[in-house]
A and B are shown apart, each in its own frame.
Chain A
Amino acid sequence: MKDNGKVTNIFLSGVGGQGAILASNILGEVFIKAGYDVKKSEVHGMAQRGGDVTTHFRFGKKVHSPLIKYGDVDYLLSFELLEAIRYINWVKPEGKIIINKQEIFPPAVNLGQMAYPKDIEKTFKKYFKENVSMVDGQGIAKRLGNVQAANVVLVGAFSKFFPEVKDQQWIEAIKTLLAPKLHDLNVKAFYEGKKAL
């Protein structure tokens, strides 16, 4: 982040309804307030219906394309195991990865036509070694009283990659984007996520 000429590429992936888009909006708030040029791109419209959701997120001094190039991802934040492995070859060899441990079967697997890939965690660790972190977003959020805060748990874990950004900046972004009645839960979720990594 200190190198002003560099653009940082973050790729978020998940399943419609998991809150991946909210997570990317929190990132947007944080990095635009920190004075960066930010571009992010997602395809929605069908996402509400359980399809896959991806967000390309780029920040730096000057960003041109809202889309990340193949093989150019610095950070992969994935909300579901299959949706992580789908994009494994987008990540740079030195890229860092956080994967939520949740498993959601797509229709072809439920109908027995295709197999859900096995050993996703192992495959990631083979290529990216200690740069891979697994987080139990649902488990942590459930303990806090609401599974739907799993996305903010993951944002909390992800925040560890950016020590220059103060906790307060993340909390402010969360409060800007969520209704007041959800603030307490999600602030807790953020800190628990941070602890999980």
Chain B
Amino acid sequence: MGKAVGDKRKRESEGRVLLSGNEAFARGAYEAGVVLASAYPGTPSSEILLNVAGYKEIIADWAANEKTAFEIGIGAAMAGARTMVSMKQPGVSVALDPLLNWSHTGTPGGFVLVACDDPGQHSSQTEDDTRTYAKLARVPCLDPSDSMEAKEFVGEALDLSEKFDTPVIVKSTTRVSHSKTVVDLYPRREYPIKGFERNPNKYVVVPGRAILRETEVIKRLATLKEYVETSPLNKVEWNSKEVGIITSGIAYYYAKRVIPEASFLKLGISFPLPEKMIKDFASKVKKLVVIEETRPFFEEEMKIMGMHDFIGMDYFRIQGELSPEVVREGLKKAGIGMKQSGPVASAAIDAPPRPPTMCAGCPHRGIFLAFKKINANVFSDIGCYTLAFAPPISALHTAICMGASIGNAVGVAKVGGSDKPIIAAIGDGTFVHSGMTPLYDAVYTQTNITVVILDNRITAMTGGQPAAESGFRANGSPTVTVDLDALVRGIGVKFVKHVDPYDIKGCIEGLKEAIAFEGPAVVLTNRPCVLMPKKIKGTSYVILEDKCTGCGICMTVGCPAVGMSDQAAKKSKKGEKARIIDTVLCTGCSVCAQLCPQDAIQLMEK
């Protein structure tokens, strides 16, 4: 952004607010004239589309998966509309095929992919780095440090996209996406939709044409390498020349926090790197330090540039998130003095961990307890129900990646590798994401597996985003509901049964029938999520103190509403054996009551 333009926009400011990085990406799309936004939910990226859907100027929808989200985005950009696609970093692997090809063809409308990494794996299967995808796809990658930059970089990315005929990635991390920082709001700029223009030589990737595009991509990367040397997004801040720090993203602020006296090269563009700028900066400081999060990407790129004399990732971390402490400790290890003193800690206490659990009244609980009763090998998937792997439920045995459950079950069954019934357990959202195609494989090969679709009618784990089974769209407007029963029958499944997941006995019977059936069988559960889109609260159950023997079987359902407490123990004559149900949390699902051998768990009288 040039200075004159910046001043003009400042004058037009619509106010100053505190926004999370994800809210800021959404605002950035609004201000930069984005017409279509497409996404698949995944922490820490989900709030981006959720907030975009609040702007009536933007058509915003959740797609079936990241690949279709990306391809719908390509379509809008083919029509010349400014487009934003968003997903978490593991989602980029799902969308890699269209990303690589879209890089080859180039884009007539501005196209930005916002991808959120999750260093520290707060809620992800892997700890990977979007910058490596940018390098693979040979597209620019912008790297904001706070919410103001998150918002502005969306516009910058779209400008670059149009200028260099390339999709552009804006990379975020959990801390950038989920930290709230101050943002100045500017008005929206409109960009007319140009409309689809035929240009098959550019947009049909048959080998004879694609080879010509390869030449263009090589040329484009060379031009981009020149551009980044002078881009205002890469900034040098001169302070003491004793220590010079090359950094980007949230790491910039951690370093500023612990060693503000150093000089900084803050890279707003983390691919391609400005080689001349980096070498010039390095030549002017006594000690050079590279501070980056996730993978040693800058470090490796600098080594390719022939640079070896710097302090790199080994000093800071090899796994997990950065933090001001990690940066501080790393600099200390490298023998770099800091003006600030270290912390004075008091006592450390060994506190029991508090992992996430299935909610009170969760419809997944009963059916997983049924899986356990029939002692099946359960190949599962990614969603809230993955929590059933943890004690006390401990009823699933694999979860590899989105949509893997059915394919995994087919493979095990084909080699005859299980002496127990084979169940593939997959949520409705994940089934739509990538479970339909492996079900086709099961039908095609007539493999003897039982597929259980845990249909709670929402994408719950990521905060309750609607999908094709929900009946409404991202902005809340009603739409048709995809009929999963008809869908699986359409694929060719001959056995389809519906069960109530709150009824453990009913589930066991339904599962036994499905397992006995020759060929692939599908069992569908029929209870919605208790939290989303509407909170469901029935009459609570209570534990009758006189009947309860304190055996603890009710605790094996792993429900946060059923428990013990020192406070309750003090009041009860049973002491530590006293069990209580939190009547605020209990939704009345009855699963614990079904298991109680004493009938001591009863509906609360009104």
A89 and B353: CB pair below 8 A? no
Question: Which A71-126 residues sit within 8 Å CB-CB of chain B?
Answer: 71-72, 82-83, 85-86, 88-89, 91-93, 103-112, 114-117, 123
Cβ 8 A contact of B563, one of A82, A110, A114: A110
B392 and A111: CB pair below 8 A? yes
* Interface majority SS (helix, strand, loop, mixed), chain B: loop
Cβ 8 A contact of A82, one of B178, B354, B355: B354
B355 and A51: CB pair below 8 A? yes
Does B358 sit within 8 A of A, measured CB to CB? yes
A125: min CB distance to chain B, Å = 12
Query: Which of the segments A42-50, A164-172, A178-186 contacts the partner chain?
Result: A42-50
Question: Which B154-194 residues sit within 8 Å CB-CB of chain A?
Answer: 174-175, 178-182
CA A40 to CA B584, docked complex, whole Å: 30
B123: min CB distance to chain A, Å = 4
Does B395 sit within 8 A of A, measured CB to CB? no
A108 and B353: CB pair below 8 A? yes
In the complex where A41-B179, A111-B391 touch, is A65 in contact with B349 (Cβ < 8 A)? Answer: no
B157: min CB distance to chain A, Å = 23
Does A69 sit within 8 A of B, measured CB to CB? yes
A65 and B254: CB pair below 8 A? yes
B260 and A89: CB pair below 8 A? no
| Proximity bits, B349-384, A CB within 8 Å = 1, else 0 | 111111111110000000000000000000000001
In the complex where A32-B182, A42-B178, A66-B250 touch, is A88 in contact with B347 (Cβ < 8 A)? Answer: yes
Q: B347 contacts which chain A residues (CB < 8 A)?
A: 88-89, 123, 127
A32 and B346: CB pair below 8 A? no
Query: Which of the segments B321-329, B405-413, B441-449, B478-486 contacts the partner chain?
Result: B321-329
A39 and B564: CB pair below 8 A? no
In the complex where A37-B182, A52-B354, A93-B344 touch, is A45 in contact with B463 (Cβ < 8 A)? Answer: yes
Shortest Cβ distance from A24 into B: residue = B180
Shortest Cβ distance from A102 into B: residue = B567
Question: Which B307-357 residues sit within 8 Å CB-CB of chain A?
Answer: 323-325, 328, 342-357
Q: B18 contacts which chain A residues (CB < 8 A)?
A: 28-29, 32, 38, 40
CA A63 to CA B567, docked complex, whole Å: 41
A109 and B564: CB pair below 8 A? yes
By size class, the interface of chain B is 35 or more
Does A147 sit within 8 A of B, measured CB to CB? yes
Q: B44 contacts which chain A residues (CB < 8 A)?
A: 45
In the complex where A43-B174, A49-B384, A89-B347 touch, is A64 in contact with B358 (Cβ < 8 A)? Answer: no
Shortest Cβ distance from B329 into A: residue = A70
Q: A63 contacts which chain B residues (CB < 8 A)?
A: 181
Q: A19 contacts which chain B residues (CB < 8 A)?
A: none
In the complex where A50-B357, A103-B565 touch, is A88 in contact with B123 (Cβ < 8 A)? Answer: no
Shortest Cβ distance from A115 into B: residue = B352
Does B257 sit within 8 A of A, measured CB to CB? yes
Does A15 sit within 8 A of B, measured CB to CB? yes
A71 and B324: CB pair below 8 A? no
| Proximity bits, B553-590, A CB within 8 Å = 1, else 0 | 00100101011111100000000000000001000000
Q: A28 contacts which chain B residues (CB < 8 A)?
A: 18, 180
Extra contacts besides A66-B146, A107-B355 (9): CB < 8 Å: A28-B180, A32-B18, A38-B182, A41-B180, A43-B174, A49-B387, A65-B253, A83-B354, A88-B349
Q: Which residues of A contact B (CB under 8 A)?
A: 15-16, 28-29, 32, 37-52, 63-72, 82-83, 85-86, 88-89, 91-93, 103-112, 114-117, 123, 127-128, 147
